[in-house]
């Protein structure tokens, strides 16, 4: 693909999912830019991982290096004062049965999708790539397929545009996300994402575990550890 019609903007947090989405986009689109949001995450470590992942992917493949364009970081700090979410405060991380986890930030992905579309509009990028997933994450309603489809319609009506929202991980579990990275960039991409991406809610990067850096016991680490172990079992079979 080539031309302005084939430019993509990846919502890139620095976590495993969005890192895999960046590789997915680099394999498909002629020009790929990234956008991240600073909203007072529990730790800014995830945002700090972004440069290492971008540089690492560019180093992995010359064709990807040629496609990788600008990085944008937007201040979405307004979210901090609007919710009591544990992701934007010191509140305890809990996941009560039958309720949304305390890490849910109301409206976050709707806001991020809208801000990303505004960036893409200005940059002439038609495709938006989001690492949302409804299979094995925390049941966040703004990660669901219907939400993303409705958002695409709302953005296109509201901006008189023809954006296409891509969610390559929507029905993929965490083991499948690692397998997707392996298919896109081989063992070198898996290792880059394992070491350079960040998922841990506690922001712990002191110990490199089998699944990457993290405290090993928060819900994000547990999910990532389970997914990586399942991927390893599948890869070895």
- CA separation, residue 77 to residues 12, 90, 93, 203 (Å): 17, 15, 20, 18
Cβ proximity to Zn ion, 19 vs 221, nearer residue: 221
The nearest distance, CB 199 to Zn ion, in angstroms, is 7
The nearest distance, CB 144 to Zn ion, in angstroms, is 25
Cβ proximity to Zn ion, 184 vs 225, nearer residue: 225
Binding site for Zn ion (CB under 5 A): 200, 202, 214-215, 218, 221
The nearest distance, CB 218 to Zn ion, in angstroms, is 3
Cβ proximity to Zn ion, 150 vs 208, nearer residue: 208
The nearest distance, CB 212 to Zn ion, in angstroms, is 10
Cβ proximity to Zn ion, 33 vs 204, nearer residue: 204
- CA separation, residue 56 to residues 125, 131, 181, 198 (Å): 23, 19, 13, 14
Cβ proximity to Zn ion, 193 vs 221, nearer residue: 221
Q: List Cβ neighbours of 141 (8 Å cut-off, separation of 6 or more).
A: 100, 147
Residue 3: φ, ψ to 5°: 95, 165
Cβ proximity to Zn ion, 71 vs 202, nearer residue: 202
- CA separation, residue 29 to residues 100, 103, 124, 213 (Å): 35, 33, 13, 30
Q: List Cβ neighbours of 10 (8 Å cut-off, separation of 6 or more).
A: 18, 21, 22, 25, 32, 33, 34, 35, 129
The nearest distance, CB 203 to Zn ion, in angstroms, is 8
Assess contact for 194 and 231: CB atoms under 8 A. Answer: no
For residue 78, the 8-state DSSP code is G
The nearest distance, CB 220 to Zn ion, in angstroms, is 5
């Amino acid at each position: 693909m080539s031309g302005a019609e084939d430019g993509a903007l990846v919502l890139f947090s620095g976590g495993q999912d969005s890192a895999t989405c960046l590789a997915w986009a680099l394999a498909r689109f002629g020009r790929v830019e990234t956008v991240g949001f600073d909203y007072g995450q529990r730790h800014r470590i995830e945002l700090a991982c972004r440069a290492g992942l971008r540089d690492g992917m560019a180093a992995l493949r010359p064709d990807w290096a040629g496609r990788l364009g600008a990085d944008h970081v937007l201040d979405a700090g307004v979210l901090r004062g609007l919710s009591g979410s544990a992701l934007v405060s010191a509140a305890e991380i809990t996941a009560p049965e039958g309720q949304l986890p305390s890490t849910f930030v109301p409206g976050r992905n709707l806001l991020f999708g809208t801000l990303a579309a505004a960036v893409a509009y200005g940059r002439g990028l038609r495709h938006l790539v989001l690492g949302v997933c409804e299979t094995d994450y925390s049941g966040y309603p703004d990660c669901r397929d219907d939400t993303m489809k409705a958002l695409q319609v709302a953005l296109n009506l509201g901006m008189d545009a023809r954006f296409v929202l891509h969610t390559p991980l929507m029905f993929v579990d965490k083991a499948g996300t690692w397998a997707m990275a392996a298919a896109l960039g081989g063992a070198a991409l898996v290792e880059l994402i394992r070491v350079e991406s960040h998922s841990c809610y506690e922001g712990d990067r002191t110990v490199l575990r089998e699944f990457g850096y993290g405290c090993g016991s928060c819900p994000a680490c547990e999910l990532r550890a389970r997914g990586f172990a399942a991927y390893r079992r599948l890869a070895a079979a």
